[in-house]
Amino acid sequence: MKRFEIKQILEALLFVSEKPLSLKELKGIIKGDYAGIDTNSLENILNELKEEYVNLNKPYEIKFIADGWVFATKPKYAPWIGKLLKEKRVLKLSPSALETLAIVAYKQPITRAEIDDVRGVESSSVIDGLLEKKMIKIIGKKETLGKPVLYVTTQDFLKCFGLARLSELPSIENISESLQ
């Protein structure tokens, strides 16, 4: 009975959450009532729940994205959901922003000068736009002359591209091969 209750609680939490919930957050929420539950058990229950939704063949699923668990609609239903929501907030990235974002994603942490060097052009305005859209963030300063700012991608970047972790990015070699 306890496992079934925990599964239902997790399902309810994922259903109402606006952001991916990490195992740590989920454990923190239910630990008072289910003190004996460990992280592995929680993850197993979430994977069971995920599999149940796969077997039900519903238009929504439970996914692990951006280091957390979330309810999400399947991509093939995006056109209709977009009509309903009237495309309220579409993230539009220019080719230069996508190029800069890819450089940051694959070479992070990275400075503006290093980005400029790879792109061959000045990138300040593009970087400012990516910071504003919360696709990248500043994590500190490089311990070199002038102490330039270091940029990395954010959890919003992972969510936007449907990635659980950066390690899910395709390798540069695979990209190069597919372009030939």
Residue ranges per domain, the chain? 2-85, 95-179
Distance, in Å, from the CA atom of 131 to the CA atom of 127, rounded to the nearest integer, reads 6
Provide the CA 111 distance to its chain's centre, in angstroms: 22
Percent of the chain with pLDDT over 90: 66
What digits encode the pLDDT tens for the residues 71-119? Answer: 999 999 988 888 887 755 567 889 999 999 999 999 999 999 999 999 9
Identify residue 52 by its one-letter amino acid code.
E
Q: Over 90: is that where the pLDDT of 33 sits?
A: no
95-179 shares the fold of 2-85: yes
pLDDT of residue 89: 59
Compare 26 and 92 and report the one with higher pLDDT.
26
One-letter-per-residue 3-state SS of 29-67: HHCCCCCCCCHHHHHHHHHHHHHHHHHHCCCEEEEEECC
Identify residue 150 by its one-letter amino acid code.
L
Find out if CATH 3.20.20.70 is the number for domain 2-85.
no
Nearest partner of 34 among 2, 69, 68, judged by Cα: 2
Distance, in Å, from the CA atom of 97 to the CA atom of 6, rounded to the nearest integer, reads 43
Distance, in Å, from the CA atom of 176 to the CA atom of 108, rounded to the nearest integer, reads 20
Distance, in Å, from the CA atom of 53 to the CA atom of 78, rounded to the nearest integer, reads 18
Domain spanning 95-179, CATH architecture: Orthogonal Bundle (1.10)
What digits encode the pLDDT tens for the residues 133-151? Answer: 999 999 999 999 999 999 9
Provide the CA 64 distance to its chain's centre, in angstroms: 9
